């Protein structure tokens, strides 16, 4: 069988721990035998980030700007314990944060639903897509720990020389401070991406903030969304779609009572937390896909979950773990599909679709990893990641020869 051709390379960002193990397995078993895979490879593993002073992350993001489509493996965001474990020279920032900062995109996360796995929330019938604003707020915040009483102020010095000052708090003792920001331009891009994605996928758009408390900061988000909405009103009406704004606490309650089938746009932190809640309630964090879309149409596909550290430590002791590779497989298929669409390679698009079918049909017919086996209805065979991927490869060969 001839391998499927590619013309433009995908930007490939390798990662850490268990997902790095799965990454290689997916490539070796599900991609390389069938596709003449072209990638521009960047090793975002923690040691390489440390060795290159994190330049490799910046280069990978720049390459994504150049080529337009990237696929990323989960990576460790270092904390104090990781500094020690990996003997790091610096506590490097979250690679995802860096990439999002450079691409200024919006992250859309959608659960992969299967008939055999019923969501924890009984009313949910369709996927809920979380659109997470990918710029600023606490992810680009500056923090300060003080050791004595004093006065905390917020100061802005304009390029014109105008200075604005506001009292944060007269602090009676030691405490903590945090400064964060966002930009109108980024909020506007976020809103545009959300309205466009809603039109693309023909789903209603919800947006929530806490503008009753954060009148100026969150209030600005609300205002900008309302302004941007005007430009999409006609198209929304034509498609029978609606835009709905509500407070985040009200949104949480409504989401739980809903049937699903809409996009929930969230600020950066809300999106981070809510996407884990939504994915877990839909079944497993390992079944959540994630794509970062920049306002100028660059795409970075990844799984929404992390590096599955607990499994990795067991793997290092020699255990063949049952780690779920589905979201990572879908990151690859999403990227290959998009690359195929952009380069008009119908065979590549069809291959990605067949790999998705082979993956889901393997689960439908009862073979799955432990996390899903614990949730699925009916008879199941819980297998290791190696066995699961081998079963998918077997099925894929059949689908490709049809
Ligand atoms: N996008 C990213 O690159 C990303 C996202 C989140 C966390 N992280 C990093 O991952 C590391 C581990 O973080 P964490 O434990 O909070 O998150 P995690 O997603 O790795 O794991 C959270 C929980 O979900 C389970 N889980 C997640 N994915 C699974 C899978 N594919 N199969 C089976 N079970 C799965 C894990 O067993 C664990 O109980 C950290 O170093 C963190 O910085 C990276």
pLDDT digits (tens, 9 = 90+) for 2-21: 899 999 999 999 999 999 99
Domain shared by 132 and 223, yes or no? yes
DSSP 111-158: EPPBTTB--SSTT--S--EEEEE-SSGGGG-EEEEESS-EEEEEEEE-
Task: Give the model confidence (pLDDT) of 365-399 as tens digits.
Answer: 999 999 999 888 889 999 999 999 999 999 999 99
Instruction: Choose between 1 and 105: higher pLDDT.
Output: 105
Residues contacting 194, CB < 8 A, separation 6+: 106, 131, 205, 207, 225, 263, 265
Show the ligand 1 pocket: residues with CB < 6 angstroms. 74-77, 96, 285-286, 302, 305-310, 323-324, 371
Q: Which atom of ligand 1 is nearest to the CA of 305?
A: 19
Q: Which atom of ligand 1 is nearest to the CA of 82?
A: 41
Residue 312 domain boundaries:
1-107+292-402
Is residue 155 a part of any domain in this protein?
yes
Number of H helices, E strands in the chain: 14, 16
Q: Is 347 helix (H, G, I), strand (E, B) or coil?
A: helix
Q: How far apart are CA 80 and CA 84, in angstroms?
A: 7
What's the structural domain count of the chain? 3
The per-residue pLDDT for 285 is 81
Q: How far apart are CA 265 and CA 189, in angstroms?
A: 13
Q: Which of 181, 335, 198, 315 is nearest to 261 (CA)?
A: 198
Residues contacting 225, CB < 8 A, separation 6+: 187, 191, 194, 207, 243, 245, 265
Q: Which residue's C-alpha comes closest to atom 29 of ligand 1?
A: 286
Q: How far apart are CA 114 and CA 10, in angstroms?
A: 29
Domain shared by 377 and 342, yes or no? yes
Domain shared by 238 and 198, yes or no? yes
The two structure tokens encoding residue 382: 């819980």
- pLDDT reading at 262 higher than 80: yes
**How many angstroms does the Cα of residue 347 sit away from the middle of ligand 1?**
33
Region of residue 87 (phi > 0: left; psi between -120 and 50: alpha; otherwise: beta): left
Is residue 148 a part of any domain in this protein?
yes
Average pLDDT over residues 63-76: 97
70 pLDDT band (50/70/90 cuts)? Answer: very high
Q: Which of 260, 257, 282 is nearest to 120 (CA)?
A: 282
Residues contacting 89, CB < 8 A, separation 6+: 50, 53
The per-residue pLDDT for 134 is 79
Q: How far apart are CA 168 and CA 332, in angstroms?
A: 46
Is residue 113 a part of any domain in this protein?
no
The two structure tokens encoding residue 115: 């008939």
Average pLDDT over residues 206-219: 97
- Residue to probe by mutation, ligand 1, list 46, 269, 308, 389, most atoms within 8 Å of CB: 308
Q: How big is the CA angle at 56 (ends 52 and 57), to the nearest 5 degrees?
A: 125
**How many angstroms does the Cα of residue 325 sit away from the middle of ligand 1?**
12
Q: Which residue's C-alpha comes closest to atom 44 of ligand 1?
A: 306
Domain shared by 192 and 124, yes or no? yes
- pLDDT reading at 293 higher than 80: yes
Domain shared by 273 and 128, yes or no? yes
**How many angstroms does the Cα of residue 310 sit away from the middle of ligand 1?**
9
- pLDDT reading at 22 higher than 90: yes
Q: How far apart are CA 329 and CA 351, in angstroms?
A: 12
Domain shared by 211 and 324, yes or no? no
The per-residue pLDDT for 326 is 97
**How many angstroms does the Cα of residue 285 sit away from the middle of ligand 1?**
8
Residues contacting 353, CB < 8 A, separation 6+: 333, 337
CB 140 within 8 A of CB 180: yes
Q: Which atom of ligand 1 is nearest to the CA of 15?
A: 3
Domain shared by 163 and 81, yes or no? no
Task: Look up the CATH number of the domain holding residue 80.
Answer: 3.40.718.10
Is residue 112 a part of any domain in this protein?
no
**How many angstroms does the Cα of residue 82 sit away from the middle of ligand 1?**
14
Domain shared by 131 and 239, yes or no? yes
Is residue 201 a part of any domain in this protein?
yes
Domain shared by 23 and 63, yes or no? yes
**How many angstroms does the Cα of residue 388 sit away from the middle of ligand 1?**
19
The two structure tokens encoding residue 68: 């337009």
Is residue 230 a part of any domain in this protein?
yes
Q: Among 258, 282, 306, give the residue marking a domain's end.
A: 282
Q: How far apart are CA 207 and CA 259, in angstroms?
A: 17
- Residue to probe by mutation, ligand 1, list 92, 107, 290, 307, most atoms within 8 Å of CB: 307
CB 114 within 8 A of CB 347: no
249 pLDDT band (50/70/90 cuts)? Answer: very high
Is residue 287 a part of any domain in this protein?
no
Average pLDDT over residues 220-227: 98
User: CA–CA distance from 370 to each of 120, 283, 306 (Å)?
Assistant: 17, 12, 17
CB 368 within 8 A of CB 119: no
The per-residue pLDDT for 115 is 87
Q: Which residue's C-alpha comes closest to atom 23 of ligand 1?
A: 308
Q: How far apart are CA 357 and CA 361, in angstroms?
A: 6
- pLDDT reading at 197 higher than 90: no
Q: How far apart are CA 59 and CA 44, in angstroms?
A: 10
Domain shared by 236 and 362, yes or no? no
| Beta carbons within 10 angstroms of residue 164's beta carbon | 9
Q: Which atom of ligand 1 is nearest to the CA of 72?
A: 3
Q: Among 230, 247, 282, give the residue marking a domain's end.
A: 282
The per-residue pLDDT for 382 is 96
The per-residue pLDDT for 147 is 96
Is residue 318 a part of any domain in this protein?
yes
The per-residue pLDDT for 100 is 85
Q: Among 282, 302, 327, give the residue marking a domain's end.
A: 282
Domain shared by 1 and 60, yes or no? yes
Average pLDDT, the chain: 95
Residues contacting 53, CB < 8 A, separation 6+: 89, 90
Task: Give the model confidence (pLDDT) of 101-141 as tens digits.
Answer: 898 778 899 999 898 888 889 999 999 999 999 789 998 99
Task: Give the model confidence (pLDDT) of 307-362 as tens digits.
Answer: 999 999 999 999 999 999 999 999 999 999 999 999 999 999 999 999 999 999 99
Q: Which atom of ligand 1 is nearest to the CA of 77?
A: 43
Domain shared by 267 and 354, yes or no? no
**How many angstroms does the Cα of residue 113 sit away from the middle of ligand 1?**
20
Q: What is the DSSP letter of 290?
A: E
């Amino acid at each position: 069988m001839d391998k499927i051709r590619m013309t433009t390379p995908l930007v490939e960002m390798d990662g850490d721990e268990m997902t790095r193990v799965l990454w290689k397995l997916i490539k070796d078993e599900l991609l390389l035998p069938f596709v003449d895979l072209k990638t521009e490879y960047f090793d975002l593993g923690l040691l390489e980030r440390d060795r290159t002073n994190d330049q490799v992350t910046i280069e990978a993001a720049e390459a994504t700007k150049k080529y337009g489509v990237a696929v990323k493996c989960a990576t460790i965001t270092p904390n104090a314990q990781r500094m020690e474990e990996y003997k790091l020279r610096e506590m490097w920032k979250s690679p995802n944060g860096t990439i999002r900062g450079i691409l200024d995109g919006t992250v859309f996360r959608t659960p992969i639903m299967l008939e055999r796995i019923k969501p924890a929330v009984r009313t949910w019938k369709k996927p809920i897509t979380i659109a997470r604003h990918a710029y600023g707020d606490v992810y680009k915040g500056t923090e300060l720990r003080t050791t004595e009483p004093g006065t905390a102020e917020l100061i802005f010095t304009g390029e014109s020389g105008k200075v604005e000052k506001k009292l944060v708090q007269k602090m009676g003792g030691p405490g903590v401070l945090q400064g964060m920001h966002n930009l109108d331009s980024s909020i506007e891009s976020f809103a545009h991406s959300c309205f466009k994605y809603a039109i693309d996928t023909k789903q209603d758009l919800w947006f929530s903030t806490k503008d009753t408390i954060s009148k100026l900061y969150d209030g600005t988000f609300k205002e900008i969304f309302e302004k941007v909405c005007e430009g999409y009103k006609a198209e929304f009406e034509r498609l029978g779609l609606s835009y709905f704004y509500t407070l985040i606490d009200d949104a949480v309650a409504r989401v739980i009572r809903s049937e699903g089938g809409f996009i929930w746009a969230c600020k950066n932190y809300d999106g981070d937390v809510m996407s884990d809640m939504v994915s877990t309630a839909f079944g497993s964090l390992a079944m959540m896909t994630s794509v970062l879309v920049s306002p100028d149409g660059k795409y970075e596909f990844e799984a929404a979950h992390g590096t599955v550290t607990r499994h990795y430590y067991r793997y290092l002791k020699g255990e063949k773990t049952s780690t779920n590779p589905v979201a990572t497989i879908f990151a690859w298929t999403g990227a290959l599909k998009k690359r195929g669409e952009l380069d008009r390679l119908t065979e590549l698009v069809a291959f990605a679709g067949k790999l998705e079918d082979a993956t889901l049909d393997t689960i439908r017919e009862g073979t799955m990893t432990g996390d899903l086996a614990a949730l699925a209805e009916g008879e199941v065979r819980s297998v290791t990641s190696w066995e699961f991927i081998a079963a998918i490869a077997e099925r894929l060969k059949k689908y490709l020869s049809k």
